[in-house]
Amino acid sequence: MKTKNYLMVCVAVSFVVVLTILFVPGVSDAIETNLLTFLATNAR
């Protein structure tokens, strides 16, 4: 995969995640919970 295509895929995935977080209430809570759990277990 070329760099340009990779960047386009990253932007598209980021855009979809942002829209999902904004407009689907349960998903944002789940993402926040998973992120906080990940950070708490990997903190030093």
Residue 31: its pLDDT value, please? 87
Residue 8: its pLDDT value, please? 96
The per-residue pLDDT for range 1-44, each reduced to its tens digit, is 799 999 999 999 999 989 988 998 888 889 889 999 999 999 87
Q: Mapping DSSP to helix (H, G, I), strand (E, B) and coil, where does residue 41 land?
A: helix
Residue 21: its pLDDT value, please? 87
Residue-wise burial string across 31-42, b where 16 or more C-beta atoms lie within 10 A, e elsewhere: eeeeeeeeeeee
